[in-house]
Structure 1
Amino acid sequence: MMQQIRDSLNGPLIVGVLLAIIGIPFAFSGIEGYFQSNANPTIAKVGDTKITQDQLRRAYDQRYRQLQQLLGENFRADQINPQRMRENVLQDMVQDALLRAEARNSGYRAGDAALRDYLTAIPAFQDSGKFSPERYRQLLAQNGYTPDSFEAQQRDSLIVDQLRDSILGSAVVTADEAALATRLAKQERDFSYLQFDPAKYLPTVNVTPEQVAARYEERKATLQAPERMKLAYVELSQGSIQKAEAPGTDILKTLYEAEKSRFTTPETRRASHILVNFGADKDAARKKIESLSAKLKSGSDFAELAKSVSDDTGSKDKGGDLGIVKRGDGLLPPKFEAALYAMNAAGEVSEPVETEFGWHIIKLTELVPAHTEAFEAPAVQKALTDLYVNKDLQAKVQEKTQQLEQLAFENESTLEPVAKALGLSVQTTDWFTRAGGAGIAATPAVIEAAFSRDVLTDGVNSKPIALDADRLVVIRKAEYEAPRQRELAEVEATLREALRNEEARKLADADAAKALADIKAGKSIDEVAASIGATVQKQDGVTRNKSGVGLALLQTAFKLPRPVGAAVSAGNATLEDGAVAVIAVSSVRDGREKDGHERDTELATLRDARAGAEFNAYREALKKTIKVEVKALPAEEAPLP
């Protein structure tokens, strides 16, 4: 039982929880957490669960930063549509809320033991590879959680996992279905094709000025230059604030006395146990544990007895060893912990102890008393100095943050007094649009504030905006260009090129259609190619996932019906580069059915695919049984006329 908890400390990363805690990432720590909005309307409701604007903003920022981290130097803010991304994030939140509501309604529950195993396996909550209650509480507090609220969320995650597993585990695939899938998946086809590239028709295409002008009038409403702006801003960063000098001994001594717990290693105990599960007969289990206790009192070896009779499969092979435990670390059932800490010396063995896991006999194998490092120790001196300097820095950060907010508010039409008072410089961004730009204009919160009524229309300073945990900015409008109609001269070249490409595409489509008709009428693809001076390209023994063959070619070749007799099965496809291909399938060979391990693997793969499809269908069906209300997300605030 307990060894399973300990083994989980070295287990795989619990991705869902880790993202929830670290991936946010620490959105309420440092100076970023200084400002919070009181306006928090509900934007979606799933059953009794409300999704608020703040929750969406937090999830959006998390997704945005994950993209930044994932793409690194390749990240480009102008390739992200903020409105569409917000809608996608909200859709994911609604789906998650649906599953939580259904899991609760269906009676799924997560007990204390399951939750404990789940939380202690999260590396973010560990110190030197072991679960740390202090770090756990600290990280929750930094992220605006209480243990109760966070653990309630994680219970929801666990019951959703139970619901998901029950659905995924119900998928069934018969051997005949698997055999058919194998024949189709491993099928091979021989085909030939002709390629008609619109680019080759471009030299024959002429576009007149009248055609360009007509296209301009036709598309005029879409030929808008988007609004854009430049920002002036001041940035307050923690790194720019001068740190305090190392304090004197008297100050360090006072700090040491106040923070002595930091330098105290609490008492630890190493324990072993023998576990007897209750099973179907609780009274029989009690009699068994009493018999084992008597054997130990008669001189039986504890470790050998644990190896032979303990029901804790995780610890029995190690003589019942549970490793080092600390009082109050949450890893031990309360009665187990009370019995262990009632012993006074290594080697003592308890009377039988009953917990929710069964009956235990506990042996205290090692006792390490609490120890406090001396004030004079170099490591303590350094830690105290760092602590003093960091506390002083945080006080300065808070003071300057308050000054930044106050000065920006009192001098709402300029940033110069703000910069002068705080020793900062007024900087300017490059042009950017609502899709974002470079530098601070890549931060969603900055973009939102820049195009808000306060900054864009009223022309006042923004409130301080967090770029990350250590940096704040105040922005104001420097320059602004409203959306405008592009003149014909600005877009003439683009329109001309588009018209030429369209006409070339029409010519390629026409020739491809004629070639396809000739093949369907009975001509061979070689005859058709010879008549138009084209080259036949051949692909033999092609599978559905063959590399080096374009996806459009593969998809079309495998969608066409089997050829009958000497005839071919023909069709066309638009390729990835815009060319048109006329395809003639001449032969189809089904894949060989597998046996043994290969068949089992194929069956499992197909079952996983079906399980995923069934789960997606189940999620969609939930929307018909659980009421979902989603408000339309407003477009980002536009300037007043």
Structure 2
Amino acid sequence: MLQKLREKTTSGWLAFVIVGLLIIPFAFFGVNNYFSAQVATWVAKIEVPAPWWQLGKDTREISQDEFRSRFEQYRQRMRQTLGDAYDPRQFDDITVKRQVLDALIEEQLLLIAAERNGVVVPDAVVAREIMNIPAFQVDGRFDQTQYRLLLQSQGMTISGFERQLREDLVRQLLPNQIARSAFVSDADLDAFIRLRDQRRDIDYLALPVPRDVDETVTDEQVQAWYAERTDRYRSPERVTLEYVEIDASNIAVPTTIDEQTLRDRYQEQRARFVEPEQRLASHILIQVPANADAATEQRARDRAADLARQAREGADFADLARTHSDDIGSRNDGGDLGWIEQGLLDADFERALYALEVGGVSEPVRSSDGWHVILLRDVREGEVREFAEVRDALERELLESERERAFSELGGRLLDQTYRDPTSLAPAAEALGLELKRTGPFGRDGGTGIAANPAVIEAAFSRDVLEERNTSGPIELGPNRIVVIRVAEHEPSEPLPLAQVRDRIEDEIRAERRAEAAREQAEALLARARAGEALDVLAAEVGAELRQVRDIDRVTGGLDRAIVDEAFRLPRPAEGEVSVGSVALGGDSYVLLAVSGVRDGDPTALDATFRGALKQQLARAQSAIEVQAYIDALRRQFPVSVAEERL
């Protein structure tokens, strides 16, 4: 029977039906889906509708690896910024993680918008940006060797860096153009001044705590409070560390370098001491689409040739660039590309630039972006720095590199030792002749010495070091200074006995009662004030002093900030009336206040210079609002899905 079925299914109409049924799912889902599980690794994805002439849609994903890399960069940056105030626990908060993810999403949205609007950044603009980066300069001038060596030290290639820079510039172009379009009118400025410089008259009274608060606390109340809040009454978790430290400043290295070695190094790196010729250039770009036909190509070239002719006949090149150039990165600057040296631009562009005399205008030059017209504005001649001029600098570099080499070698040996035995530091310390040191006990808020370092605290309480009891990786304490740690002792957090915290609990119960009674009193008195009762009557009733403060502004000192903020938050009162409100100052402290007078600032009191500076400041604030509105619009245009559970 099986043989008959086999024969029927390998020939004839039944075989065609079965094969057809199999083809359909394979065609839609692919063979791989039948043999491998698909595990989603994205933390966010953006749906981008395809152009009207295409079917389907494009999906841009932000992977877990991308997010983790950016999040770690953010943590390192905040660690450097906050110093001793850095708390690694705050980075476990989903709100912080979402802030980092939202920044990545916004970057992708801006790239999508730039692509759909045909935004490109020419090679010349990328080159200008690179040459203007201070880290790539020596004595204020771009240095090709410094550029290459610095990228190598960061594990980056030149092509990879330039690709990333180009992407950054593309992403920034549209927001920058939106920001430039923001403006503030004189009427807007006057309205702002009237609000900013507004002054107000207020009356206020600090409410005393009600006298009838029950201060009696029973054993049952203490026990119930303790049972509901046990996690509040715990001993701090603490660790004691063993550690070894390597500090390059304590490593013995030679103090001088022999003359021949210095001369050999100079010859090896001679290109580094040659400052190449640089040329100050401007350009006009006539962009050509990648798939342009011959007629479109010719029209673009003819247009570029006509602009070159106008420039040679005396037309202002900067005006031509502002009017006609398709390079929005340099157009507003009259096509300015800054100082350029060979090796950074398209080869044809460079050949044309270096063939010009100062003041000369090129024929149209084709690049991947389109047709360029180039103006050479100035030339800086190259020069060679002789050995005597750079000898001392070379010696310092060699001595420092020797110290770094010794530091790197010793650090590598330490890591090798700890990898062999990740559960102890003693063998590594003994093998390398390093002192095995020990901290005192400290908690998650840190201690003294290395225990005050946020990175050490974070590592000490990490799962790998605290729970698995492994040695840490190298922790950087400063330039060429590292430490490797291990938890020697661990004191877990434990509930404190009730007897030890009884007095504290009784105080907290009484404080809560006082705060609740003060809140109820403030709400009741505020309701009466809003109903028309005068503050002086209410002040007399509760035994408080009514204070009058006149002519305060938004930055008035001598008053609690919360009182000033509430005074300017309350609405302007009608003629002969007051606006009343209350302020919670924390705990059982409340203030009742009334605004009795409001006087707007005078726009005519500011001189033209100050008005101009303030107008620019407001325009910058307005530009930030408009850029964010543009990004919000992109979020609505392109649906974004987020997988918070993968963060």
TM over 0.5: yes
Contact 2:235 2:495 in 1 (8 A): yes
Letter aligned with residue 400 of structure 1 = L
1:570 aligned residue: 580
Deviations 1:262-294 (A, max 9, x none): 5x535x558799999999965555556777xxx
Is 1:83 the counterpart of 2:92 in the alignment?
A: yes
Match of 2:411 among 389, 396, 401: 401
1:67 aligned residue: 82
Compute the displacement of 1:409 (Å). 2.3
Compute the displacement of 1:325 (Å). 7.5
SS at match of 2:485: strand
SS at match of 2:483: strand
Alignment of 1:132-281 (within 5 A): 132-168=143-179, 184-198=195-209, 205-244=215-254, 246=256, 248=258, 254-255=264-265, 257-262=267-272, 264-265=273-274, 269=277
Q: CA, structure 1 residues 110+434, in 2 after alignment: closer, same or farther (shift >3 Å)?
A: farther
Match of 2:631 among 616, 619, 624: 619
Contact 1:207 1:496 in 2 (8 A): yes
SS at match of 2:317: coil
Compute the displacement of 1:580 (Å). 0.9
Alignment of 1:58-457 (within 5 A): 58-68=73-83, 75-78=84-87, 81-84=90-93, 85=96, 88-168=99-179, 184-198=195-209, 205-244=215-254, 246=256, 248=258, 254-255=264-265, 257-262=267-272, 264-265=273-274, 269=277, 282-283=304-305, 311=317, 327-328=342-343, 333-339=349-355, 358=373, 360=375, 371=384, 373=386, 377=388, 380=391, 382=392, 385-386=395-396, 388-434=398-444, 436-443=446-453, 445-457=455-467
C-alpha distance in structure 2 between counterparts of 1:410 and 1:276, whole Å: 62
Letter aligned with residue 631 of structure 2 = R
Deviations 1:352-376 (A, max 9, x none): 6655653557897x866x65735xx
C-alpha distance in structure 1 between counterparts of 2:338 and 2:190, whole Å: 51
Compute the displacement of 1:480 (Å). 0.6
Deviations 1:555-597 (A, max 9, x none): 3334444445644332322136862111223334455566995
Q: CA, structure 1 residues 544+312, in 2 after alignment: closer, same or farther (shift >3 Å)?
A: closer
SS at match of 1:473: strand
Mark the runs of 5 or more structure 2 residues left unpaired by the alignment. Answer: 1-40, 47-59, 287-299, 320-336, 366-370
SS at match of 1:224: coil
SS at match of 2:355: helix
Contact 1:274 1:309 in 2 (8 A): no
C-alpha distance in structure 2 between counterparts of 1:373 and 1:202, whole Å: 89
- TM-score, structure 2 normalization: 0.71
Deviations 1:1-55 (A, max 9, x none): xxxxxxxxxxxxxxxxxxxxxxxxxxxxxxxxxxxxxxxx865556334324233
Contact 1:190 1:587 in 2 (8 A): yes
C-alpha distance in structure 2 between counterparts of 1:423 and 1:618, whole Å: 60
Q: CA, structure 1 residues 59+331, in 2 after alignment: closer, same or farther (shift >3 Å)?
A: farther
Alignment of 1:4-23 (within 5 A): none
Letter aligned with residue 78 of structure 2 = R
C-alpha distance in structure 2 between counterparts of 1:426 and 1:105, whole Å: 60
C-alpha distance in structure 1 between counterparts of 2:186 and 2:274, whole Å: 61
SS at match of 2:469: coil
Letter aligned with residue 130 of structure 2 = L
Compute the displacement of 1:633 (Å). 6.2
After superposing the two structures, state which structure 1 stretch, 562-571 or 235-244, moved more: 562-571
Contact 1:183 1:590 in 2 (8 A): yes
Letter aligned with residue 339 of structure 1 = A
Compute the displacement of 1:194 (Å). 1.3
C-alpha distance in structure 2 between counterparts of 1:605 and 1:361, whole Å: 36
Deviations 1:42-74 (A, max 9, x none): 655563343242332123112221222xxxxxx
Deviations 1:518-540 (A, max 9, x none): 43444322233233332111122
Compute the displacement of 1:408 (Å). 1.3
What's the RMSD between the two structures over aligned residues? 4.5
SS at match of 1:535: coil
Match of 1:512 among 522, 526, 529: 522
Deviations 1:493-535 (A, max 9, x none): 3323322322222343344344434434443222332333321
Match of 2:509 among 488, 499, 523: 499
After superposing the two structures, state which structure 1 stretch, 131-140 or 490-499, moved more: 490-499
Compute the displacement of 1:418 (Å). 0.8
C-alpha distance in structure 2 between counterparts of 1:386 and 1:183, whole Å: 60
SS at match of 2:512: helix
SS at match of 1:484: coil
Q: CA, structure 1 residues 249+57, in 2 after alignment: closer, same or farther (shift >3 Å)?
A: same
Contact 1:569 1:586 in 2 (8 A): yes
C-alpha distance in structure 2 between counterparts of 1:120 and 1:282, whole Å: 27
Deviations 1:391-438 (A, max 9, x none): 544443343233212211223332222111212111123334455554
SS at match of 2:126: helix
C-alpha distance in structure 2 between counterparts of 1:615 and 1:350, whole Å: 39
C-alpha distance in structure 2 between counterparts of 1:159 and 1:66, whole Å: 28
After superposing the two structures, state which structure 1 stretch, 419-428 or 209-218, moved more: 209-218
Mark the runs of 5 or more structure 1 residues left unpaired by the alignment. Answer: 1-40, 69-74, 292-307, 314-321, 635-641
SS at match of 1:124: helix
Q: CA, structure 1 residues 290+310, in 2 after alignment: closer, same or farther (shift >3 Å)?
A: closer
After superposing the two structures, state which structure 1 stretch, 128-137 or 625-634, moved more: 625-634
Identity of aligned residues (%): 29
C-alpha distance in structure 1 between counterparts of 2:594 and 2:197, whole Å: 20
Q: CA, structure 1 residues 411+80, in 2 after alignment: closer, same or farther (shift >3 Å)?
A: closer
1:581 aligned residue: 591
C-alpha distance in structure 2 between counterparts of 1:521 and 1:349, whole Å: 80
Q: CA, structure 1 residues 620+211, in 2 after alignment: closer, same or farther (shift >3 Å)?
A: farther
SS at match of 1:459: coil
Contact 2:281 2:375 in 1 (8 A): yes
After superposing the two structures, state which structure 1 stretch, 272-281 or 159-168, moved more: 272-281
SS at match of 2:147: helix
Deviations 1:599-623 (A, max 9, x none): 8877766665554344334434444
2:69 aligned residue: 54
Contact 2:88 2:458 in 1 (8 A): no
- TM-score, structure 1 normalization: 0.71
Contact 1:446 1:465 in 2 (8 A): yes
2:566 aligned residue: 556
Contact 1:233 1:427 in 2 (8 A): yes
C-alpha distance in structure 2 between counterparts of 1:172 and 1:245, whole Å: 60
Contact 2:70 2:100 in 1 (8 A): no
SS at match of 1:55: helix
Deviations 1:65-109 (A, max 9, x none): 1222xxxxxx33459623235554444444444434443344333
C-alpha distance in structure 2 between counterparts of 1:550 and 1:265, whole Å: 63
Letter aligned with residue 74 of structure 2 = A
Q: CA, structure 1 residues 440+106, in 2 after alignment: closer, same or farther (shift >3 Å)?
A: farther
Contact 1:552 1:576 in 2 (8 A): no
C-alpha distance in structure 2 between counterparts of 1:244 and 1:579, whole Å: 67
Compute the displacement of 1:132 (Å). 1.7
C-alpha distance in structure 2 between counterparts of 1:150 and 1:631, whole Å: 30
C-alpha distance in structure 2 between counterparts of 1:587 and 1:102, whole Å: 50
